[in-house]
Amino acid sequence: MDAVLAHLRDAIERGEYVVGGKLPSEAVLSRDFAVSRSVVREALRGLQALGLTVSRTGKGTFVVSDRPADNPRFGTYSARDLVEVRRHVEVPAAGYAATRHSPDDLDALTALLERMERETDGTVWVALDSLFHIGIARASGNPVFAKVIEEIRDALARQSAFLNQFGGRREGSNAEHRRIVEAIVAGSRPAAIEAMTVHLDHVETAVTDIVGTETAAP
């Protein structure tokens, strides 16, 4: 999928597929690249997240830009939306989790962390990533935090996959997740807040590096 995505992105940026033009159908791309249609579909989602294409039901995929969008979208929400909300929800949630967690919360977070560090399938890792962040919100003891993260779960998963595709974030995320869990296990609210802040800083920086602009700019 990464190879298909990279090829299509390069072709768009070089002008092989012009703005306003239509990409070949999923069936044609699947045949040309000798991959399944599900692989092509994921690559096309990546192009849409970058703001290079749009999908029109019953008509196909059209090129709308030859450069990544300043503020890529992940389903319903944009990168800027997620950056702003996550800082106001996940940072305090991590802090509260450090002082309010239950033994079951710690067991669940540790198990998820270890599974993510062993996981080799990117799709499975993204699903576990979403569960990890929901788990921290639940460990905060405030159901509103958990509700908010569950509401944006799909967007978080799309962003996570996007960052893994374009930014190679999995290894860095695993290390950052471990520091968050260690702070929660230690019961240190300041350390948990700092660890989550650093994690979200790196997420924002990765998006910025990919699209070449500040996602949090007004």
Shared-domain flag, residues 155 and 85: yes
CATH code where residue 29 lies: 1.10.10.10
What tens digit of pLDDT does each residue of 99-127 get? 999 999 999 999 999 999 999 888 899 99
DSSP assignment of 47-66 equals: HHHHTSEEEETTTEEEE--S
- Is 217 a member of any domain? no
Per-residue tokens: 17: 């597929």
Cα four-point dihedral sign 90, 92, 98, 100: negative
Shared-domain flag, residues 55 and 96: no
Full domain range(s) for residue 190: 73-211
Shared-domain flag, residues 37 and 82: no
Q: State yes or no: pLDDT of 215 exceeds 50.
A: no
Residue indicated by tokens 């710690």:
106
What tens digit of pLDDT does each residue of 146-177 get? 999 999 999 999 899 888 877 788 899 999 99
This prediction's pTM: 0.78
pLDDT tier, 212 (very low <50, low <70, confident <90, very high otherwise): low
Per-residue tokens: 131: 């569960």
Radius of gyration of the chain (CA): 19
